[in-house]
Amino acid sequence: MAEIRLEGVAHSYDGGKTYALNPITMTWKDGKAYALLGPSGCGKTTLLNIISGLLKPSEGKVFIDGKDVTDVVTDDRNIAQVFQFPVLYDTMTVRKNLEFPLKNRKVPRAKVAERVNEIAALLGIEKDLDRKPSKLRSDLQQIVSLGRGLVREDVSAILFDEPLTVIDQNFKWTLRNRLKRLHLATGVTVVYVTHDQTEALTFADEVLVMDQGSLVQAGTSESLFLEPQHEFVGYFIGSPGMNFLDVEASSSVLTHNGKPIGKAAKAGLNGSHRFGVRPEFLVPSKSGLEFKIDRVEDRGVFKLVHLSKDDFKFIAKTEESYDAKVGAKANFSFDAKRAFVYDMNKKAVSTVSPSSAGGN
C-alpha cells in the first residue's frame, strides 16, 4: 500500500515535438480509488504506464511512498496492472498463472502455494484453479489477470486500464462491483482508467478528468457535475453535455449579439468568453430568455427540450410533466450557482446569474 506522487511528470513519444502528456504534479493518496476519465488519446494510458513503470517519463519524477522510483523498472515496483482485455498465459492453468510472478521472483514453493490459495479465496476462484483460463468466462478471466498482480505481497497499487472493454454487457456490472469490493477488502490504492463516465463516477472516490494530455479537473463525481471548472468537463460529463454560447463581457455583463444573457459574479470581467449551463439547470420560468421549442425528446422519466433562439441552440432537461409544444415560445432561466462563464483557456472564471433584464 502506498502513496504515489508525480512531480512535473510529462511524456513525449516523439522526442519533444508533441506531448502526449503535459506536466502533471499530483498525489494519489494511499488506499483511495481514483478514476482517470477522458476520451481516447487523451493521455490516460500514458499516465498509467508511467506509474507502473512500463514507460519512463520524458520529464519529471515518480515517487512511491516518498521513494524516487523514476528509474526503477516495472518488475520492482510492486504494481498490479489489468489491461483492456484479459492478459493470461494460455498454456498454463489458472493456478500456474497465479504462481508465475512469484516463481519468477524465486519465492519459496511453500510460500507460493500459500499466497495463491489466499488470493484465490479472496477473488473467489478456488474452484477454477486447475482449469485453463480460456475455459473461463471473460469477467473471470479478467479477475484472474488481476489476481496475478495481487499475488505478490505488499502490492503498492492496482492500475486498471479500461478493464471492462471486452466484458459481456451482462457481466460488466457484476465485475465492476467485484472490483469495487476487492478495493475495499484490500485497501490498496486503485487507479481506474476509463472513458465511460458512469464507470468512473460509480467506481472512484475521486475522478480526474483528462483532455489532450492535461488534467483538467479532479474531484468527486458530484463536484464534476455541479461545478465543472473546465469546458471539457462540462461537455464530457453529463448526458447530454453542457450548453455553451459565445458571449462578450463588459464590466461582467454578458451579452450575445448585443442581447443580455446574464451577469458574472466576478467583478470587472471584459472581453470574449463562453457561457455554459447544463441542461439540468436550464429551467422553465416566467422570466428569463425566450426560446422557440424545436423538438422534444420524451425519455420517459424526463424530457429533453431542444430550444433555439436567434443563432444558437440549447437543450433543456425538464421534468416529465413539463408541457412542451413544438414550435411554441417558452421562457427558460438558469440557476445562478449552476451557470458558469469560461475564459478563452476554457477555464471557469465565475458563476453567472440570470440577467435581470430577461426577455429579449
Partner 1 sequence: MDGKKKNNRAWFLVLPVVFVVAFTAIIPLMAVANYSLQDIQGASNRLFVGLDFFKRVATDPNIQDAFTRNLTLSAQILLIQIPLGIFLARLMPRSGWKASAALVVVAIPLIIPWNVVGTTWRIFTRSDIGLGGVLVNQFFDYNLSEDTTDAWATILVMDTWHWTPLVTLLVYAGLRSIPQAYYQAAAIDGASRMAVFRFVELPKLRRVLMIAILLRFMDSFMMYTEPFVVTGGGPGSSTQTLSILLTTIAIGQFDLGVAGAFSLMYFLFIQIFSFIFFTVLTLDERPGATKVTPKEKKAAKLAKEPKQVRSKLEKVQK
Query: With binding defined as CB under 8 A, does residue 351 bind partner 1?
Result: no
Out of 25, 27, 74, 270, point to the residue binding partner 1 (CB under 8 A): 74
Q: What are the distances in angstroms from CA 341 to CA 13, 51, 175, 231, 351?
A: 35, 35, 39, 9, 6
Out of 13, 39, 67, 75, point to the residue binding partner 1 (CB under 8 A): 75
| CA–CA distance, 284 with 317 (Å, rounded to integer) | 10
Query: With binding defined as CB under 8 A, does residue 123 bind partner 1?
Result: no
Query: With binding defined as CB under 8 A, does residue 83 bind partner 1?
Result: yes
Stretch of 88-96, 240-248, 309-317, 344-352 contacting partner 1, by CB under 8 A: 88-96
| CA–CA distance, 148 with 1 (Å, rounded to integer) | 17
Binding mask 29-68 for partner 1 (x = CB under 8 A): --------------------x--x-x--------------
Query: With binding defined as CB under 8 A, does residue 107 bind partner 1?
Result: no
Stretch of 27-35, 101-109, 171-179, 196-204 contacting partner 1, by CB under 8 A: 101-109
Backbone angles phi, psi at 12, to 5 degrees: -130, 130
Binding mask 269-288 for partner 1 (x = CB under 8 A): --------------------
CB of residue 8 to partner 1, shortest distance in Å: 24
Out of 26, 72, 87, 166, point to the residue binding partner 1 (CB under 8 A): 87
Return the number of the residue (85 or 173) whose C-beta is nearest partner 1: 85
Stretch of 73-81, 206-214, 230-238, 298-306 contacting partner 1, by CB under 8 A: 73-81
- Is the omega angle on the peptide bond into residue 240 within 30 degrees of 0, that is, cis? yes
Return the number of the residue (63 or 85) whose C-beta is nearest partner 1: 85
Return the number of the residue (96 or 172) whose C-beta is nearest partner 1: 96
- Nine cell digits for residue 296: 422534444
> Is-contact 287 336, C-beta < 8 A?
no
CB of residue 162 to partner 1, shortest distance in Å: 11
> Is-contact 289 333, C-beta < 8 A?
yes
CB of residue 126 to partner 1, shortest distance in Å: 15
- Give the footprint of partner 1 on residues 181-240 (CB under 8 A): none
Out of 142, 145, 214, 350, point to the residue binding partner 1 (CB under 8 A): 145
- Nine cell digits for residue 344: 478563452
Query: With binding defined as CB under 8 A, does residue 310 bind partner 1?
Result: no
Q: What letter would DSSP give residue 15?
A: T
Query: With binding defined as CB under 8 A, does residue 147 bind partner 1?
Result: no
Backbone angles phi, psi at 136, to 5 degrees: -95, 160
CB of residue 1 to partner 1, shortest distance in Å: 18
| Rg of the chain over all Cα atoms, to the nearest angstrom | 25
- Nine cell digits for residue 30: 494511499
Q: What angle do CA 342, 359, 350 make, to 5 degrees?
A: 20
Backbone angles phi, psi at 51, to 5 degrees: -65, -40
Strand order from edge to edge, sheet including 302-309: 312-319, 302-309, 282-298, 329-334
Helix intervals (H) in 3-137: 44-52, 94-104, 109-123
Closest-CA residue to 36 (of 155, 208, 166)? 208
- Give the footprint of partner 1 on residues 148-167 (CB under 8 A): 148-149
Positions touching partner 1 (CB under 8 A) are 49, 52, 54, 73-75, 79-81, 83-85, 87, 89-92, 100-101, 104-105, 135, 145, 148-149
